[in-house]
Structure 1
């Protein structure tokens, strides 16, 4: 009986320890180790890694590095595909993900901070010289591309219901989707408007054309989708609060405007979430 009691006590101790570890404060852990692991994806000017220097650059990098400085820790960016973001967060490979829209499906498995630090403007793009797609209404019977695991994948489903798309083709990366649009293997694609705007500013002869930016009413919303940081569901409450405190301070100080304009994004829609043609 004593042996059984000891075994039961040991099992209970292990269980309590496991609960304590799973509920450990992530902010304390990050400060203790001295760096925060940030899941990010490549989509200039929002986020990319300079291959010549290894430096993480872009809108998301500027905001994340400011938060990291406030916390007194280094920022370790980890490039991931969209489909791998949530699994990486929930497995503990990364502490936070930057640059995601809020969706109901994602909110079931990950936690969001409350302050959108800028707003996304999604765009319908097609081949530069294509003339048969001039509005969203022209998508009837067409095939469009989206990035797998992105919010645009869910947006495309709403467009399919609204305009009668023939098919939605899903890609692991934006580059492969854009290549298929340019080659005519898909008719059009839902892409990030800020990426399109940035590409055109960098190269006026860019070989894709903008059909239109996506009005928020197509998504059943009054405003454009906000861009947020996301965190594990458990043990991240104090980390979320720390991020929001710094982000609120930056937004109030006009840092959103300064950062976005430094990348050539001057439309008020990126700062306010209000889009008007």
Structure 2
């Protein structure tokens, strides 16, 4: 990705994030008339303009913007750039909170989301790539000092989760099994973790790969694992896969292009190389087996 492209993506991300934080659903109403009107093949439009608008979020090591350079970095960034190179275009990352991703996709402000778990509710309004390009392990966290020792200690406790994420499903299942008194939902992970650190939450459901990465970077990290969450919390036999996600309208060619590029890159071991680059050597990230 050239510097001009990266800087354009960074400026775009900053502006979009502000709008999303103010009103997660605003894009849906504002862009509906513009968006699909796109009965034509979106892939042809993307190739004509020379870049693809990728909806993403800020959660290292999956995805973040390096504020010193404006470069999009992380697992999703590296793999998506490789996919885009196979297609023959550049990448314009658009940073959003999770709850704003679907409205942005529906309004045509973005062409694809760089990675979401598959849920029945999302499948009603969005189209998925054929296969995930990697798998996530979610985790129940608590404070390093004190907090919750085991999942059985969750009775009458308060936990946090990120609104619009699949972790909501896991949090609800934990509540059903262990008698959690309240689930607080946040638009982003950072305020949730701040509340956990301050003792306003007893535990939080978060991305395990993010915890693994943060703990590697900082041995004195503020949080510890109560439990890595098995797939059964999502009523699944495998860990949740991270899929590319598209609009249901006019995207058949684009989905086929992403599927072909993903299959080629995984066959060449690019996914493994990227995971290892960020210190994630657990084979579960590639196989989905817990």
Report the TM-score, using the length of structure 1 for normalisation.
Answer: 0.90
SS at match of 1:78: strand
How far apart are the structure 1 equivalents of 2:117 and 2:160?
18
Q: CA deviation at 1:151?
A: 0.9
Equivalent residues in 2 for 1:1-277, closer than 5 Å: 21-130=37-146, 133-275=148-290
Deviation at 1:20, TM superposition (A): 8.8
Q: Unpaired runs of 5+ in structure 1?
A: 1-17
> How far apart, in 1, do the equivalents of 2:36 and 2:67 lie?
40
Q: Deviations over 1:108-158 (max 9, x none)?
A: 001000121110000000111115x22222212111001111111122112
Asked if structure 1 preserves the Cα contact closer than 8 Å seen for 2:75 and 2:275, the reply is: yes
Q: Any conservation in 1 of the 2:144–2:223 contact (CA below 8 Å)? A: yes
Q: Please, what TM-score do these two structures have when normalized by structure 2? A: 0.86
Distance in 2 between residues matched to 1:198 and 1:138, nearest whole Å: 26
1:14 equivalent in structure 2:
none
Offset at residue 172 of structure 1 (A): 1.0
Residue 212 of structure 1 aligns to a residue in which SS? Answer: strand
Consecutive unaligned residues in structure 2, runs of 5 or more: 1-33
Q: Deviations over 1:23-78 (max 9, x none)?
A: 11000010111110000000000000000000000000011101111111110000
Larger radius of gyration: 1
Question: Alignment RMSD, CA only?
Answer: 1.4
Q: CA deviation at 1:19?
A: 11
CA distance in 2, matches of 1:218, 1:107: 19
Residue correspondences, number: 257
